[in-house]
Structure 1
Amino acid sequence: QGILNYTASYLSVWVGGKLTMSLKKRLYEKLVCFNPAYFDKSTSGEIIFRYNNDADLACAGLLSNLKNFITRIFSSIALIGVLFYNSWQLSIVAIIILFVAVAPLTRVKHLIKSLVTKNAVSITALNTTYNETFSGNKTICSYNLEEYQKRKFFDLLESVFELTVAMTRRTAWLSPFMHFVISIGLGLAVALGSWLIVNGTITSGNFVSFITALLMLYTPLKNISGNVVAVQHSFMAIERIFDLLDAPLPICNKCDARDLPDIRESIVFDDVVFEYVPGRPVLKNIHLEVHVGETLALVGNSGGGKSTLVSLLPRFYDISGGSIKIDGTDIRDVTLQSLRRNIAVVFQDNFLFTGTIRENILLGNPNATEADIARALECAYLTDFVNSLPQGIDTEIGERGVLLSGGQKQRVAIARAFLKQAPVVVLDEATSALDNKSEEIVQQAIDNLMKDKTVFVIAHRLSTIKNANRIAVINEGQLAELGTHEELMALENGQYRRLYEMQFKTQPTADTADEPEEESFPPEESPSAPGIRQETSPPEAEPAGEKNMLSGLEQKAGNFI
Structure 2
Amino acid sequence: MRQVRVRLFLACLLATIASCLGLVMPLVLKWLVDGPLTSGDLSGIWLGGLVLVLLGATEAGIFGVRRWLTARPLADVEASMRESLYGRLQRLPSAFHDRWSSGQLLSRGTADLGQVHAFLAQPLTFLVVNAVTFVAGCVILLEQQWVLGLVLLVPVVPLTVLCSWFQARHVLASRRAQDLEGDLTTLVEESIRGIRVIKGFGRHRSQARAFEKMVFEVRGVELHRARLLASLSGMFVLLPEIAMGTTLALGVVQVADGTLAAGTLVAFLATVLVLRPVVESTGPLLAMCNQAATAVDRYCEIMDEPLPTQDHLPDVGLSAPPRPAALAFENVHFQYPNASMDAPGVLRGVDLRIEPGETMALVGSTGSGKTTLVGLVPRLYEPTAGRITLDGQDIADLPRSQLRTMVAVAFEDPALFSASVMENVLMGGEAATETDGAWALRVAQADGFVHLLPSGPHTQVGEQGLTLSGGERQRLALARAVVGRPRVLILDDPLSALDIHTEAAVERALRQVLATTTALIVAHRPSTALLADRVALLSDGVVAAVGTHRELLKTNPDYALLMSGIEPLTLGGGTGKGAKTS
What interval of TM-score do these two structures reach, taking the shorter chain for normalisation?
0.7 to 0.9
The Cα shift of 1:341 comes to 0.8
* Larger helix proportion of the pair: 2
Alignment CA distance shift 1:498-1:5 (3 Å): same
Matches within 5 A, 1:458-497: 458-491=522-555, 494-497=557-560
Unaligned runs of at least 5 residues, structure 1: 516-561
The Cα shift of 1:113 comes to 2.6
1:498 counterpart (561, 566, 571): 561
Alignment CA distance shift 1:254-1:162 (3 Å): closer
Matches within 5 A, 1:386-465: 386-465=450-529
The Cα shift of 1:54 comes to 0.9
Range with greater deviation from structure 2 (16-25 or 3-12):
3-12
Q: Deviations over 1:55-83 (max 9, x none)?
A: 11111133232453344233323322312
Q: Partner amino acid for 1:368?
A: A
Q: Is the 8 A contact 1:16 1:60 kept in 2?
A: no
Q: Is the 8 A contact 2:101 2:186 kept in 1?
A: yes
Alignment CA distance shift 1:327-1:8 (3 Å): same
Q: Is the 8 A contact 2:315 2:402 kept in 1?
A: no
Q: Is the 8 A contact 1:376 1:418 kept in 2?
A: yes
Alignment CA distance shift 1:514-1:167 (3 Å): closer
Matches within 5 A, 1:103-114: 103-114=161-172
Q: Is the 8 A contact 2:74 2:120 kept in 1?
A: no
Tell me how far apart the structure 1 counterparts of residues 81 and 136 of structure 2 sit (CA, whole Å): 36
1:305 aligns with 2:369: yes
Range with greater deviation from structure 2 (258-267 or 462-471):
258-267
Tell me how far apart the structure 1 counterparts of residues 181 and 277 of structure 2 sit (CA, whole Å): 36
Tell me how far apart the structure 2 counterparts of residues 303 and 28 of structure 1 sit (CA, whole Å): 33
* 2:333 match: 273
Tell me how far apart the structure 2 counterparts of residues 264 and 61 of structure 1 sit (CA, whole Å): 55
1:153 aligns with 2:211: yes
The Cα shift of 1:199 comes to 9.9
Alignment CA distance shift 1:436-1:82 (3 Å): same
TM-score norm. by structure 2 comes to 0.80
* 2:73 match: 15
Alignment CA distance shift 1:431-1:285 (3 Å): same
Tell me how far apart the structure 1 counterparts of residues 324 and 433 of structure 2 sit (CA, whole Å): 27
Q: Partner amino acid for 1:497?
A: A
Tell me how far apart the structure 1 counterparts of residues 412 and 542 of structure 2 sit (CA, whole Å): 23
Tell me how far apart the structure 2 counterparts of residues 345 and 157 of structure 1 sit (CA, whole Å): 40
SS of residue in 1 equivalent to 2:346: strand
Q: Partner amino acid for 1:65?
A: P
The Cα shift of 1:495 comes to 1.9
Q: Deviations over 1:312-361 (max 9, x none)?
A: 11100011111112222211111000001101111122111112112112
Alignment CA distance shift 1:360-1:204 (3 Å): same
2:299 counterpart (221, 228, 241): 241
Matches within 5 A, 1:246-265: 246-250=304-308, 252-253=310-311, 258=316, 261-262=320-321
Tell me how far apart the structure 2 counterparts of residues 464 and 403 of structure 1 sit (CA, whole Å): 27
Q: Partner amino acid for 2:528?
A: T
TM-score norm. by structure 1 comes to 0.83
Name the count of aligned residue pairs.
Answer: 511
SS of residue in 2 equivalent to 1:131: helix
Q: Deviations over 1:34-68 (max 9, x none)?
A: 12222222222112112222111111133232453
Q: Partner amino acid for 1:179?
A: V
Matches within 5 A, 1:218-237: 218-237=276-295
Tell me how far apart the structure 1 counterparts of residues 212 and 220 of structure 2 sit (CA, whole Å): 12
Tell me how far apart the structure 1 counterparts of residues 512 and 470 of structure 2 sit (CA, whole Å): 19
The Cα shift of 1:21 comes to 1.1
Alignment CA distance shift 1:444-1:57 (3 Å): farther
Q: Deviations over 1:243-287 (max 9, x none)?
A: 221221245538699558557762221111111025331100111
* 2:32 match: none
* 2:382 match: 318
1:174 aligns with 2:232: yes
* 1:529 match: none
Alignment CA distance shift 1:118-1:73 (3 Å): closer
Q: Partner amino acid for 1:275?
A: Q
SS of residue in 2 equivalent to 1:227: helix
Q: Partner amino acid for 2:143?
A: Y
Q: CA RMSD in A?
A: 2.9
SS of residue in 1 equivalent to 2:383: coil
Q: Is the 8 A contact 2:174 2:290 kept in 1?
A: no
1:378 aligns with 2:442: yes
Range with greater deviation from structure 2 (71-80 or 222-231):
71-80
Range with greater deviation from structure 2 (324-333 or 66-75):
66-75
Q: Is the 8 A contact 1:481 1:495 kept in 2?
A: no
1:37 aligns with 2:101: no
1:358 aligns with 2:422: yes
Alignment CA distance shift 1:139-1:219 (3 Å): closer
Q: Deviations over 1:391-438 (max 9, x none)?
A: 222122222222222222222222222321111000101112333233
* 2:158 match: 100
Q: Partner amino acid for 2:438?
A: A
SS of residue in 1 equivalent to 2:233: helix
Unaligned runs of at least 5 residues, structure 2: 1-56, 575-582
Q: Is the 8 A contact 2:361 2:534 kept in 1?
A: yes
**Bigger Rg, structure 1 or 2:** 2
Tell me how far apart the structure 2 counterparts of residues 187 and 370 of structure 1 sit (CA, whole Å): 79
* 1:294 match: 358
Tell me how far apart the structure 2 counterparts of residues 366 and 320 of structure 1 sit (CA, whole Å): 31
Tell me how far apart the structure 2 counterparts of residues 200 and 53 of structure 1 sit (CA, whole Å): 59
Tell me how far apart the structure 2 counterparts of residues 319 and 126 of structure 1 sit (CA, whole Å): 34
Q: Is the 8 A contact 1:346 1:414 kept in 2?
A: yes
* 2:12 match: none
Q: Partner amino acid for 1:148?
A: S
Alignment CA distance shift 1:316-1:388 (3 Å): same
Alignment CA distance shift 1:261-1:392 (3 Å): closer
